[in-house]
Chain A
Amino acid sequence: MTWVAAFLLSLSLVTVVDTKSPGEVKFVVSEAPLGAELTLHRTTAAGSGNLPVFASVLYQGDTLTLTPTYSLSPGETYEARVTTSDGKISERKFYHHPAPEAAAPRVIRVLPDTGKVPANLLKFYLEFDQPMREGIEIFDKIHLIDLATHTEVDSPWRRQELWSPNGKRLTLWIHPGRIKQGVNLRTELGPVLFPDRKYELILDETIQTPDGRKLEKSFRHTFETTAEDRTLLDMSSWEILAPQTPRSPLVINTKKALDPWLATRHMVILHHGKEIPTTMTWDLSQTRFELISEQSNRVQSATQQGTIPSSWISGDYSIRIDEFLEDLAGNTALRVFDTDLSKDTPPKNPTLERDFTIPLAP
């Protein structure tokens, strides 16, 4: 056995077998009495009174092999139990399923981290350094404090869990019903955020990983609000700074803070009509985006020759956005978040693409 930490409490015919697959363990009884049954039970402080866990049992002569249907939980102790045909427990074996040693989880950052946000801010991104425990109760562990009154804002979140596939990022929506004008929720409860105030977002230290490791301490994120923003994204105002060397970044100043995770998907660079793979980073203001080309290019000049990985080459380019790119309040280049489609007409000629040139020295 390579990693299974099993221990015997009594001499027993039951053995624990490592299946080489993390989380999967088999329990084998040899020379089992005729008609005996093998079951597995999780033990708790109250004892081994739990029902048998779902498992398949293979009978081969007097050998029984039990395989749990679902992975055993880390840090739990289980009892493999042999019961004879007359209902008596003839063997017990306890097995502790090890929990990996790991540090307490940390909050890496909360976005937006711009210091000031419009009072109709739509969402936060909470980013952790490891996969976190899912479950709707997390919304009870995230608090919004109005620092003007030192009171907690009531029911600010849309309680729908949206985790990134790796479980490290939670998209936390401020309830849209309290952002949209004329909606009953906003009428009855008021908006979540008011302009020109200071707030603190608090993540309780009880937020935990699936195996129960909690944050070292609560995480606090302070921000101020400005007036609500119900204006379209205006790409025509963006400043585009071409890279000065093949490996330096293309810099785009969007003037208005954008949702950076949407920008990674909905802001693309084209060269001869073909999308260039890029890596995007952004600064705390979420208005300055730096894009490094991930394209390898062949270069033939007096000073350089060959293929340069991750490089820009001279030429004409364009930057393109689409209707999904949003600012912090969910406004796009085509519609403000709080749109009445029957009245508000989309702009006739919205700018969705800008041309620029990269004039690298030969």
Chain B
Amino acid sequence: MKHTFILLTTCLALRLISAGDVMTGAHTGDIDLKRIQVIHFAPDGILLIADGTTAQIIALDTGDTSPGSGEFVKITGFQKELASRLGIDEADLEIIDLEVNPISKNLYVACLNKKNSSPALIQIKGDGSMKPVNLKGVKHVRIPLPQGDKAPVSAITDMVWIDNRLIASARCNEEFASKIFSVDGPLQHNKTGQVYSAETYHVAHNKWETKAPMSVMIPHEENGEFFIVGAFSCTPVVKYPISAIKPGAIIKGISMIELGSGNRPLDMFGYKKDGKSNVLTNTFRFHHEKRPFGPSPHLAFRFDEDLLTAPDVNEKAIRRLNGNDPSTDKIEVAESFHGVVKMSRYDDKSAIALNETGDLLAITLP
């Protein structure tokens, strides 16, 4: 059977989902955030902001919907500059997440001021200018995260918008478990969703298990069926059919690829190049000192997106390495992304990346 597949970049999602579907009955008022754990753009310039500390996801209508393009200038010493604009030392700043608005191409940066334990959300334009994102008197909806006794969600690790619903990978402070939070669109103010447990086959140790939270995820479509594709520490890449996310279900992931043990995924996105669909994921290699894969513990892998449709799954899933040698040319270390700490897809040609030295720059995709 011939497989067709589509990596649902947010641009594509924009075409598949009408703008009005994202939220309805938006509230106008101030947004109170204690932390920002992850940000993600839904269609129509709606920025999803996850704050597990206050048990909420905010969908903010940024109004930033004028199409943009062009060059994104390199900001040498970006991290230092941003710290200065926040009135702190660079050591007091932690960049939490980067996200390019797929319409305007402006970059949104979520960060933490460690000096007073407060978040900041900054918009960076292609010319390097930066300004705070206004959170006062703005149009938004607030999605409370379930705080029932049984399954409180205290952290969101990533979010996607797919099949007219918001799906987030979630976890709680005390449990080492994989949870998926789902809420149907259009999002409504103060209306929550459901939390589901997920089971995953870990290729690296050939076991089905529940005790592993997902680090990053992207949307994916295959033969008309929607999936989310997630990556875990050590580093299985797993897909979950959206159709399985329904009340009472335990969602079983299908392990497709194993990128290598000792890595923790940080970001992931899909893109097309020369007619081929690719996925790029950057990771932190906590095994770097013992077994380096490059000059930096921060490294990225590119793989052919068609590996996500391969017939061999779970215990037969493809591994990047056979011993110390590459097992396939469909997976490779993306050398131009060595040292990248955070990244977000800009377009099919480049990503905006924060590197280990605190510079912000566009890097050509492999």
Which residues in A have some Cβ–Cβ distance to B below 8 Å? 23, 40, 42, 44, 50-54, 68-74, 76, 78, 122-123, 131, 133-136, 155, 158-159, 162-165, 167, 171, 173, 176-177, 180-185, 188-189, 210-212, 259, 261-262, 265-266, 268, 322, 324, 326, 330, 335, 337, 339-342
Chain B residues, Cβ within 8 Å of A177: 233-234, 261
Bound Cα distance from A287 to B122, whole angstroms: 49
Chain A residues, Cβ within 8 Å of B122: 54
Chain A residues, Cβ within 8 Å of B330: none
Chain A residues, Cβ within 8 Å of B89: 44
- Besides A176-B211, A183-B202, 12 other A-B contacts (C-beta < 8 A): A70-B132, A73-B88, A122-B176, A162-B173, A177-B261, A183-B234, A210-B114, A261-B174, A265-B150, A265-B152, A266-B149, A341-B208
Q: List 28 A–B pairs whose Cβ atoms lie within 8 Å, in order of A's numbering.
A: A50-B87, A52-B85, A53-B85, A70-B132, A71-B116, A72-B87, A73-B115, A73-B116, A76-B87, A76-B88, A123-B176, A159-B286, A162-B171, A163-B53, A171-B173, A176-B176, A177-B234, A180-B205, A181-B205, A184-B234, A184-B261, A189-B290, A330-B176, A339-B208, A339-B210, A340-B208, A341-B208, A342-B208
Bound Cα distance from A167 to B118, whole angstroms: 12
Chain A residues, Cβ within 8 Å of B85: 51-54
Bound Cα distance from A23 to B116, whole angstroms: 10
Bound Cα distance from A50 to B82, whole angstroms: 11
User: Which of these, A76, A158, A262, A268, contacts B174 with CB under 8 Å?
Assistant: A262
Bound Cα distance from A78 to B350, whole angstroms: 39
Query: B131 near A: Cβ within 8 Å?
Result: yes
Query: B204 near A: Cβ within 8 Å?
Result: yes
Query: B86 near A: Cβ within 8 Å?
Result: yes
Q: Which 8 residue pairs across A and B have the least CB separation, nearest first? A: A341-B208, A184-B261, A51-B84, A53-B87, A182-B205, A42-B87, A73-B115, A183-B205
Q: Which of B139-172 contact A (CB under 8 A)?
A: 149-152, 154-155, 171
B81 & A51 in contact (Cβ 8 Å cutoff)? yes
Chain A residues, Cβ within 8 Å of B150: 265-266, 322, 324
User: Which of these, B120, B149, B261, contacts A183 with CB under 8 Å?
Assistant: B261
Chain A residues, Cβ within 8 Å of B113: 70, 73
- Shortest beta-carbon distance, B316 to chain A, in Å? 13
Which residues in B have some Cβ–Cβ distance to A below 8 Å? 34, 53-54, 81, 84-89, 92, 94, 112-118, 120, 122, 131-132, 149-152, 154-155, 171, 173-177, 199, 202, 204-212, 233-234, 261-262, 264, 286-287, 290-291
Bound Cα distance from A51 to B210, whole angstroms: 48
A167 & B117 in contact (Cβ 8 Å cutoff)? yes
Chain B residues, Cβ within 8 Å of A23: 116
Nearest opposing residue in chain B for A125, CB measure: B174
Bound Cα distance from A289 to B142, whole angstroms: 38
B117 & A341 in contact (Cβ 8 Å cutoff)? no
Query: With A70-B118, A73-B116 as given contacts, are A135 and B207 in contact (CB-CB < 8 Å)?
Result: no
Chain B residues, Cβ within 8 Å of A155: 286
Chain A residues, Cβ within 8 Å of B84: 42, 50-51, 53
Bound Cα distance from A176 to B117, whole angstroms: 28
Chain A residues, Cβ within 8 Å of B117: 131, 133-134, 167, 210
Bound Cα distance from A162 to B202, whole angstroms: 23
Chain B residues, Cβ within 8 Å of A70: 86-87, 113, 118, 120, 132
